[in-house]
Amino acid sequence: MLIFNYVIKDPIGLHARPATLLVNLVKSVNSTVTVEKEGKTADAEKLLALMGLAITQGDEVKVIIEGEDEKEAEKKLQNFFQKNL
């Protein structure tokens, strides 16, 4: 299991467009990815679950990656968060 934290910088937060891109990215890896905010978690393959976390600018999220390609997935996800959020 790999975990990293990220503080959202996007002024709009995790809105529909980047959330959809995130779901598509997660579906392309073999690991299970969970996003956590303030104790609430969401399967990162489920758009509505992610949107339900109501992630806004300044929120710190924890990204948990578990699976056979978790190191590669972590690199892709960190890159995604830095470029899009």
Catalytic residue among 10, 15, 36, 78: 15
Q: Which amino acid is at 84?
A: N
Show the tokens assigned to 2: 């790999």
Show the tokens assigned to 18: 């980047």
Phi and psi of 14, rounded to 5°?
-85, 90
Q: Does the active-site annotation cover 6?
A: no
Q: Which amino acid is at 27?
A: K
Catalytic residues: 15
